[in-house]
Amino acid sequence: MKKKVACCYGTRPEFIKIAPVVLALRKFHSDIKQVLICSGQHRELLRGIGEDFGLKPDIELNVRKKIGDSGDLSELAAGLLKGFDGVFRRVKPDAVAVQGDAASAAFAALAAFHLRLPVYYIEAGLRTYDLSAPFPEEGYRQMISRVASVLFCPTEIDKKNLLNEGIPENKIHVVGNTVVDALKIILKGPALLRQGRAFTDKKIVVTVHRRENWGDPLKRILLSLKKIRDNNPEYKFIVSVHPNPIVKNVIESFLKDEPGFELIIPPTYRKFISILGQSSGVITDSGGIQEESPTLEIPCLVVREKTERIAGVKLGWSFLAGTGGDEIISGFRWLINWKRPKGGNPYGDGKASVRIADVIEKIWQ
């Protein structure tokens, strides 16, 4: 009888990073059945993404009608916990796989823990050790690590974090980050986009959405972008506007119809990666983009106070600017003068998903 693993997601980054694992299990381990479960946490941003990978969910929970409906995190958490608990009881998986640090991952893991199901945690060990940054993700990922049976780390830095927290070493596997695998699936070698090209197009991609940047930090970031535009009129800024009204309304009030800024609705993942790969760099508070930029060979200016993607900063792929105006303007100078660091991609070689699938197979032998 086939073993069964429930692969859970609810946000776009979760799907992008768990999809290669599902595909690797299907290709190399046909004796393992995957059940793809979507919570619906970020339904708008997930539309059409399955087509990029040839996947669609087996089960959808519909915990959210649209982004912004459940601004209360406790309400969202309760819906996720109840939804995942019900589907696990019905599907009866042998294990549950989760990825990252979104609410869907945290409460799928907790529901599995309550049912004494093993939790396989992809992208484990990322830390800022500040529960307010990122909020609530830092708390969620620490929680998942405590209940996980197997933890797949992107880098040795992440493994060290887990060891320092008392996680047994035999539970930890350093495999790389599956986002590199996803990019290879989408673009079949995306680093080729940069080969032989100078940064002559003068286009900068911008994404800002994180909860800890809501309010004054977001306003400071946007004001800084306008100052940068004033001082660098040759650059064009392509701003992907998150659909959450708390973010969308502020961005539009600052940048709509402003010269030098093009506001776009979040495109499909394939289209976004194409835009990103043809840019001169990216300004973001996203976690995933910090991992994608080395594969695309572009610089990443991080507008957050702290980042858990330390490897990219240490090797010179990213620069942590914070959210202060002067710091962001200084960071922009780093971005436009950036030189490609020596060495390979700090987040892996595009084979993380195969390593994860192989570990899962060995567990069940």
Active-site residues: which are they?
A: 101, 123, 137, 209, 211, 242
- The two tokens of residue 196 are 């032989």
Q: Please say whether the beta carbons of 309 and 100 come within 8 A.
A: no
Q: Please say whether the beta carbons of 140 and 112 come within 8 A.
A: no
Count of CB atoms situated within 10 Å of the CB of 31: 11
Q: Please say whether the beta carbons of 184 and 190 come within 8 A.
A: yes
> CB neighbours of 360 closer than 8 A, spacing ≥ 6?
5, 25, 29, 32, 95, 97, 120, 150
Proportion of the chain in helix, strand, coil states, percent, rounded to 5 = 45, 15, 40
β-strand partners of 120: 97, 150
Q: Please say whether the beta carbons of 121 and 150 come within 8 A.
A: yes
d(CA 149, CA 212) in angstroms, rounded, equals: 30
d(CA 98, CA 265) in angstroms, rounded, equals: 27
- The two tokens of residue 274 are 């194409």
Q: Please say whether the beta carbons of 321 and 228 come within 8 A.
A: no
d(CA 35, CA 93) in angstroms, rounded, equals: 8
